[in-house]
C-alpha cells in the first residue's frame, strides 16, 4: 500500500488517477493545493505505529512533557450481558456541542421489547459555556428538574448516568476530574475539579429530585456500551463527532494506573491530542497550521483538528478562500461570509458530497454565502470537500488500526474478530466516511476481521447501559460474596479445627472412639543417613505397578525401575493368579538387572485399605480402584506374596516391610532431611502420618522410642465435628459419592472432590443469574466434568483471562470475561479453604510433637506428595501460611517428596534392616 488516495469519496474519472488527481479542466494550482491532503500508505503505517507506541507507553505509566495519548481508565469493567433492566436518567453534556440533553431510558433486557427513550435538548447559552463553572452545573440541574417535572417520577430515587464528553482523569466510576475543556467550552473553576461532585452539589442546590449519580461516562465509552448486541463482542468504541476519540477493553493487568491484575477495563485513549508532540508534522498542511493558530487552543488537539466535525468545515472554508484568492474559484471573488470562521459547517460538507444531490446543494449553499459559481466551480468545491474528508477518514483508520493491533497482540490471537461501535455526526451524516475508513483499516490491519456497528444513541442509551451494568455487577458481586462467605474461614474457625483434630488424635491413640484411627505402622525410626545397600521395592496401587531397584550409598540414592501392567482378567481373577503375576514381573525385573539368585530386602507399598499388625503384616480390608481378586480380603497380603514366591521355585525374596504411601513419603524426605518426621499426601485423596512417642500408643508394648502413626485423617469429621464448616455444596458432593457420610475431611480437601464442589457452586450461581446469563448447560450438569486440574490451571498467575476462557469454553460453557473472573474467584475460594483446613491439620500434628517433647520451640520438616499440592499454584504457600499462624512456636519446613511409594518403601526397608542389625549387635 504505497499510496492511499481518496478513492471512496471522489466522483468522476479523477478517482482512478494516481494520488489526488486534478479534476478535468482544473488548473495546476488546484491540483497543487489538494496534493497537500494526500497521505501515503507509508505515512499511515507510520502514524499507526507511532500511536501504538504512544498507547503502550501511556499504559505503562511512562509520561512525557507532551503526552500523545492519555489512556485513561474509565472504570467500566464489563460490557452488557443483555440482562440489564430498569429506568435510568442520563445527562449528556458536551457530546453535541453547545447543547445539553436529558434522557429517560428504560432497559428491558435482550428478551424484552425495546422502549424508545424520552429526551429533551436544551441549548446552552454562550455566556454559560464561557462563564463560571457553578453557573454551568446549576443550568444542568435546572434542565434535569424541568425534564423530570413532565414525568411521573414521584419521590422515588433515580440512578443517573453522566455523559461528560471532555478529557478527564477518572479515579472511579463516579469520580472524574476535568483535565481541560475542549469543543468551545471554557468555564472557569472546573479544570482540576471532580465534575461528578460539582453536578451532585448543583442537584442538591436545586433540591427537587433524589438523583444518585452512579457513573460518569464520556461519549466514546457510551458509544461502545450502546452498541446493539450481536454475534461478536463489541469492545471498541469510535466517535467522530464535533471531536474524536476511541476506547476499548484492555486487559487490566496492562494498565499501570490501576494496579489490578484481573479482568478487563475500558480505556479511553483520548487520541485527539495525538500529534501535539509533532508526530503528525509530515501530514500537516498550511491550512492545518492556519486553523490551529486561529483556534481557542493553539498547539493542542492536533489530531482532532484534522478529523473532528467541528473542524472539517473550517478546513474546507480555508481551502476555498485560498483558491478564490488565487483566482481559480468564484472568479477570484470572496464574500464576507467566506472569510468568516465557522461559516462552513460539517453539514455543508456532507451535503456537498451527497452522491445524488451534492451538485445541486453546492450552488445553493455557496449562493447563500454570497458567492457566484463559475462553470467548473461546483466540481472543484466537491473535490476540495472530498480531499479534506478522505484524509480525515484515512487518519482515523490508521489510529483505529493501532487499537486493533494492540488488541490482537495483547490477546495473542492470530485473527482478531471484533465489533467496533461507531458514533457521532460525521458517521451519521457523511455519505462515504465509513466506507473509506473500512477500506483503509483492511489495508493497515489485515489480520483483524472487523465489523462496524452504529451505536444506538451512545450518549443516552449507552450511558444508561453503563449505569445498568454497574448496578448488575454490584448485585452479582453481593450474591457471589454471599455464596462464597462460608468458604472464607477465619483464623478462629481454623483454630477450632486444629483443636478438634488434636482431641481426635489423642482419643485415637488411646483406642477410644474417634474419627481418626491413628494406626501404628511399626516404623520406629526415620533414616539417619547411615543406611547402605541395595533394596527392592514393589509399588502396587493400580492397574499399572512398578518394580524398583534402589541403591542407597554415600553419594545418595539411585533408582532403576520398570512399570508392568496387570490385565483386567488378573485384577478380577483369583488372588493366587494376581500374586503369581506380580512375582513373575519381579523375576523378569531381576533378570533384566542381573539380580537373579540374589535375595534382596523388599519393601512393599500396598495402596489399599489395610490393618497393619506388624512391619511385615497387613490385612487387606477391602479392594478399591477396580480390583476384585478373590480370596484376598481379610488375608495378610505379605503372606499371599510370600506364598507366590514359594510357588515360583528357585526365587528368593526377603519381604521386610509393607508400607503405606504416606509413610513412604515421610521416609523419602527423611533421608534428605533427618528432621522430617511428618508425611503428608494431598492428591486424589489425602492422609498424614507422623512420629509419635511410643508411650502414647495404646496396645503397643514399650515406653521409650517412637512409632510412626498412620492417621488416616481423611475420615476426620465423620463424627459430625466438621458440621459447622460444611456447606450445602459439600453435602451435595458427599451424597453423590460412593461412601456418603464418610471421609468428610478428605471431601473438603482432596483433588477427587474440589472440582465437584466448584461445579455445584457454579450451578447455584447460574440458577441465580450471576453466571452464564442464567442459562443452564447440560455439560455443567454432568458429574465430574469439572476436573480439579482445572482449578490449578485457572488459578495460575501466568494464565491470561483469555486462556481461562478457553479452558471453560472447552467445557461447553458460554461465558463472558465477567464469568471467567467469577469462576476463577470460586476456584480460589474452594482451594483456599482446602489448603487452610490442611494447614490446620498439620498445625495440630506439629504442635502435638512439640508438646510431646516439652519443647518451647520445635524445628521439624514435613514431607509432602500429591498432585494437588505440587501442581496447584498457591496451595503449598497457603498451607505453610496457615501452619505459621496456628503453630507459631513451630518452625516448619515443607519438602516435596520424590517417589515416596518407591524410594520411600525401600528406605523403610533399609531402616528396618539397620535397626535389625543394631538389635543383633
Please give the distance of CA 690 from its chain centroid, rounded to a whole number.
Answer: 40
Distant-in-sequence, close-in-space partners of 781: CB < 8 Å, separation ≥ 6:
763
Name the H helices within 123-282. Answer: 126-129, 133-149, 195-206, 219-225
- Residue burial 229-244, b: 16+ Cβ < 10 Å; e: rest: eeeebbbbbbbbbbbb
Half-sphere exposure of 791 (CA within 13 A, CB side): 33
- Residue burial 422-458, b: 16+ Cβ < 10 Å; e: rest: bbbbbbebbbbbbebbbbbbebbbeebebebbbbbbb
Active site residue 546: yes
Q: In angstroms, rounded to a whole number, what is the distance separating the alpha carbons of residues 121 and 101?
A: 4
First to last CA, the chain: 92
What residues are paired with 894 via a beta bridge? Answer: 862
Rg (CA), the chain: 38
Q: Which of 502, 546, 759, 805 is catalytic?
A: 546
CA angle 383/387/388 to nearest 5° reads 120
Q: In angstroms, rounded to a whole number, what is the distance separating the alpha carbons of residues 818 and 801?
A: 10
Q: In angstroms, rounded to a whole number, what is the distance separating the alpha carbons of residues 294 and 317?
A: 13
What are the CA-CA distances from residue 782 to residues 728, 778, 807, 811, 878 (Å)? 18, 7, 16, 10, 30
Phi-psi region of 530 (alpha: psi -120 to 50; beta: other; left: phi over 0): alpha
Run of H or E including 487: none
SS3 113: coil
Distant-in-sequence, close-in-space partners of 136: CB < 8 Å, separation ≥ 6:
124, 128, 129, 185, 187, 190
Q: What cell was used for 571?
A: 485384577
* Residue 651 and residue 587 in contact, taking contact as beta carbons nearer than 8 Å: yes
Whose CA is closest to 544, among 562, 571, 563, 560?
563
- DSSP letter for 443, please: H
Q: In angstroms, rounded to a whole number, what is the distance separating the alpha carbons of residues 414 and 773?
A: 28
**28-35 and 377-410 helices cross at what angle (nearest 10)?**
20
Q: Which of 377, 457, 661, 730 is catalytic?
A: 661
Cell 540374589 sits on residue: 598
Decide the pairing of beta strands 211-217 and 234-240.
unpaired
Most distant CA pair in the chain, distance: 126
Q: Which of 455, 607, 792, 861 is catalytic?
A: 607
Run of H or E including 693: strand 686-693
Backbone phi, psi, residue 895, to 5°: -115, 130
Active site residues: 546, 607, 661
Amino acid at each position: 500500500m504505497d499510496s492511499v488516495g481518496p478513492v471512496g469519496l471522489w466522483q468522476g474519472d479523477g478517482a482512478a488517477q494516481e494520488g489526488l488527481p486534478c479534476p478535468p479542466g482544473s488548473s495546476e494550482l488546484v491540483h497543487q493545493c489538494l496534493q497537500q491532503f494526500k497521505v501515503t500508505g507509508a505515512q499511515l503505517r507510520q502514524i499507526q505505529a507511532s500511536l501504538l507506541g504512544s498507547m503502550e507507553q501511556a499504559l505503562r505509566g511512562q509520561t512525557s512533557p507532551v503526552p500523545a495519548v492519555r489512556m485513561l481508565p474509565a472504570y467500566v469493567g464489563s460490557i452488557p450481558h443483555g440482562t440489564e433492566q430498569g429506568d435510568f436518567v442520563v445527562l449528556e453534556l458536551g457530546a453535541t456541542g453547545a447543547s445539553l440533553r436529558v434522557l429517560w431510558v428504560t432497559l428491558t433486557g435482550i428478551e424484552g421489547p425495546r422502549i424508545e427513550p424520552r429526551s429533551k435538548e436544551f441549548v446552552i447559552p454562550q455566556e454559560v459555556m464561557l462563564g463560571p463553572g457553578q453557573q454551568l452545573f446549576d443550568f444542568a440541574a435546572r434542565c434535569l428538574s424541568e425534564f423530570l417535572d413532565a414525568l411521573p417520577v414521584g419521590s422515588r430515587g433515580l440512578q443517573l448516568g453522566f455523559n461528560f464528553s471532555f478529557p478527564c482523569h477518572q479515579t472511579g466510576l463516579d469520580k472524574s476530574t476535568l483535565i481541560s475543556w475542549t469543543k468551545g467550552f471554557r468555564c472557569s473553576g472546573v479544570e482540576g475539579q471532580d465534575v461528578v461532585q460539582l453536578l451532585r452539589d448543583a442537584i442538591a442546590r436545586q433540591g427537587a429530585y433524589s438523583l444518585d449519580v452512579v457513573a460518569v461516562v464520556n461519549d466514546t465509552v457510551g458509544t461502545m456500551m450502546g452498541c446493539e448486541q450481536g454475534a461478536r463482542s463489541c469492545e471498541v468504541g469510535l466517535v467522530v463527532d464535533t471531536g474524536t476519540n476511541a476506547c476499548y477493553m484492555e486487559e487490566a493487568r496492562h494498565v499501570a494506573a490501576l494496579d489490578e491484575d484481573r479482568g478487563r477495563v475500558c480505556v479511553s485513549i483520548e487520541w485527539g491530542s495525538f500529534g501535539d508532540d509533532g508526530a503528525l508534522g509530515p501530514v500537516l498542511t498550511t491550512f492545518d497550521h492556519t486553523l490551529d493558530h486561529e483556534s481557542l487552543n493553539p498547539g493542542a488537539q492536533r489530531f482532532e483538528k484534522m478529523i473532528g466535525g467541528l473542524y472539517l468545515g473550517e478546513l474546507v472554508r480555508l481551502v476555498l478562500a485560498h483558491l478564490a484568492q488565487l483566482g481559480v474559484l468564484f472568479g477570484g471573488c470572496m464574500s464576507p461570509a467566506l472569510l468568516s470562521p465557522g461559516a462552513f459547517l460539517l453539514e455543508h460538507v456532507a451535503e456537498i458530497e451527497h452522491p445524488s444531490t451534492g451538485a445541486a446543494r453546492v450552488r445553493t449553499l455557496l449562493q447563500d454565502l454570497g458567492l457566484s459559481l463559475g462553470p467548473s466551480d461546483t466540481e472543484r468545491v466537491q473535490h476540495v470537500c472530498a480531499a479534506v474528508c478522505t484524509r480525515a477518514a484515512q487518519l482515523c483508520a490508521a489510529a483505529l488500526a493501532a487499537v486493533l493491533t494492540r488488541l490482537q497482540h495483547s490477546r495473542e490471537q492470530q485473527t482478531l474478530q471484533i465489533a467496533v461501535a461507531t458514533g457521532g455526526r460525521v458517521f451519521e451524516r457523511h455519505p462515504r466516511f465509513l466506507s473509506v475508513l473500512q477500506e483503509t483499516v483492511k489495508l493497515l490491519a489485515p489480520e483483524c476481521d472487523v465489523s462496524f456497528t452504529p451505536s444506538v444513541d451512545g450518549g443516552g442509551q449507552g450511558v444508561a447501559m453503563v449505569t445498568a451494568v454497574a448496578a448488575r455487577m454490584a448485585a452479582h458481586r453481593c450474591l457471589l460474596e454471599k455464596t462464597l462467605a462460608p468458604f472464607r474461614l477465619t483464623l478462629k474457625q481454623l483454630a477450632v479445627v486444629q483443636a478438634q483434630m488434636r482431641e481426635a488424635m489423642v482419643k485415637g491413640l488411646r483406642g477410644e472412639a474417634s474419627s481418626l484411627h491413628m494406626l501404628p505402622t511399626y516404623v520406629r525410626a526415620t533414616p539417619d543417613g547411615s543406611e547402605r545397600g541395595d533394596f527392592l521395592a514393589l509399588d502396587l496401587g493400580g492397574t499399572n505397578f512398578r518394580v524398583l531397584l534402589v541403591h542407597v550409598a554415600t553419594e545418595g540414592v539411585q533408582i532403576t525401575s520398570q512399570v508392568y501392567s496387570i490385565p483386567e482378567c488378573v485384577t478380577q481373577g483369583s488372588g493366587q493368579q494376581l500374586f503369581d503375576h506380580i512375582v513373575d514381573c519381579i523375576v523378569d525385573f531381576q533378570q533384566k538387572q542381573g539380580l537373579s539368585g540374589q535375595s534382596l530386602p523388599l519393601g512393599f507399598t500396598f495402596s489399599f485399605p489395610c490393618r497393619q499388625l506388624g512391619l511385615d503384616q497387613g490385612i487387606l480390608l477391602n479392594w478399591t480402584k477396580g480390583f476384585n481378586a478373590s480370596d484376598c480380603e481379610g488375608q495378610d497380603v505379605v503372606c499371599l506374596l510370600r506364598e507366590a514366591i514359594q510357588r515360583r521355585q528357585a526365587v528368593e525374596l526377603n519381604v521386610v516391610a509393607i508400607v503405606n504411601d504416606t509413610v513412604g513419603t515421610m521416609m523419602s524426605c527423611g533421608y534428605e532431611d533427618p528432621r522430617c518426621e511428618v508425611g503428608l499426601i494431598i492428591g486424589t485423596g489425602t492422609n498424614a502420618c507422623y512420629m509419635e512417642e511410643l508411650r502414647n500408643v495404646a496396645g503397643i508394648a514399650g515406653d521409650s522410642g517412637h512409632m510412626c502413626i498412620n492417621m488416616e485423617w481423611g475420615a476426620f469429621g465423620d463424627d459430625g465435628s466438621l458440621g459447622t464448616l460444611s456447606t450445602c455444596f459439600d453435602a451435595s458432593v458427599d451424597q453423590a459419592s460412593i461412601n456418603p457420610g464418610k471421609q468428610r475431611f478428605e471431601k473438603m480437601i482432596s483433588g477427587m472432590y474440589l472440582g465437584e464442589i466448584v461445579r455445584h457452586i457454579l450451578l447455584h450461581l447460574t440458577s441465580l443469574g450471576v453466571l452464564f446469563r442464567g442459562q443452564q448447560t447440560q455439560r455443567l450438569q454432568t458429574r465430574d466434568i469439572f476436573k480439579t486440574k482445572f482449578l490449578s490451571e485457572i488459578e495460575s498467575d501466568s494464565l491470561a483471562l483469555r486462556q481461562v476462557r478457553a479452558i471453560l469454553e472447552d467445557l461447553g460453557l458460554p461465558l463472558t470475561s465477567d464469568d471467567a473472573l467469577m469462576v476463577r474467584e470460586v476456584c480460589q475460594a474452594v482451594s483456599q479453604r482446602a489448603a487452610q483446613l490442611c494447614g490446620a491439620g498439620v498445625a495440630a500434628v506439629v504442635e502435638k510433637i512439640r508438646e510431646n517433647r516439652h519443647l518451647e520451640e520445635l524445628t521439624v520438616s514435613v514431607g509432602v506428595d500429591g498432585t494437588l499440592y505440587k501442581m496447584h499454584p498457591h496451595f503449598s504457600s497457603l498451607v505453610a501460611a496457615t501452619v505459621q499462624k496456628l503453630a507459631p512456636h513451630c518452625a516448619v519446613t515443607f519438602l516435596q517428596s520424590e517417589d515416596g511409594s518407591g524410594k520411600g518403601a525401600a528406605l523403610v526397608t533399609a531402616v528396618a534392616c539397620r535397626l535389625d542389625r543394631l538389635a543383633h549387635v
